[in-house]
Amino acid sequence: MILYPTIELLKGRCVSLQRGRIEDPAIWHVDPLAKAKEFAELGAAWMHLTDFDAMFGSLANRDLIVRIIAEAGIPVQLAGGFRSRDRIEEWLRLGAGRIVVGTLAANNPHLVRELAERHPGRIVLTVDVLKDHVMVEGWRVQSAYTARDFIESYGDTPFAAIVVTDIGADAAETEAALGVISGLARVARVPVIASGVVRTVQDIARLRLLGTVHGALVGRALYNRTIDLAEALAEARAGQGEVAAFI
Percent of the chain surpassing pLDDT 70: 91
**Cα–Cα nearest to 139, from 97, 103, 174, 105:** 103
Say if residue 174's pLDDT is above 50: no
Q: Closest by alpha carbon to 190, among 111, 134, 125?
A: 125
Amino acid at 20: G
Please say if the pLDDT value at position 204 is more than 80. yes
- Range scoring the smallest mean pLDDT among 66-80, 169-183, 231-245: 169-183
Quote the pLDDT of residue 139: 80
- φ, ψ of residue 190 to 5 degrees: the values are -130, 165
Query: Residue 84: is its pLDDT beyond 50?
Result: yes
- At 170 the pLDDT is 57
The more confident residue out of 96 and 140 is 96
* Separation CA 20–CA 171 (nearest Å): 6
pLDDT score for 138: 81
Partners of 128 in the β-ladder: 135, 165
Residue 89 has pLDDT above 50, yes or no: yes
How does pLDDT run across 137-167, given as a tens digit for each residue? Answer: 888 888 999 999 999 999 999 999 999 998 8
- Residues 57-81: what's their mean pLDDT? 97
Torsion angle, alpha carbons of 220, 224, 227, 229, to 10: 80
* Record: fold of 2-236: TIM Barrel (3.20.20)
> What's the average model confidence in pLDDT over 102-130?
96
In this predicted structure, what is the pLDDT of residue 24? 80
Output b/e per residue, 63-78; b: 16+ Cβ within 10 A.
ebbeebbeebebbbbb
Better pLDDT: 140 or 194: 194
Provide the strand spans (E) within the chain.
2-10, 13-18, 21-28, 47-51, 76-79, 98-101, 123-130, 133-136, 141-146, 161-166, 192-195, 215-218
- Which pLDDT score, from 0 to 100, does residue 11 have? 95
Is 242's pLDDT higher than 80? no
Q: Lowest-confidence range among 33-42, 117-126, 207-216?
A: 207-216
Q: What's the one-letter identity of residue 35?
A: K
Residues 6+ apart with CB under 8 A from 227: 198, 199, 200, 201, 204, 218, 221
DSSP state letters, 39-96 = HHHTT-S-EEEEETGGGGT--TTHHHHHHHHHHSSS-EEEES---SHHHHHHHHHTT-
Dihedral, 181, 127, 2, 117 alpha carbons, nearest 10: 130
Residues 116/103, Cβ–Cβ less than 8 Å: no
* Catalytically annotated residues: 8, 128
Q: How many CA atoms lie within 13 A of 138 on its CB side?
A: 17
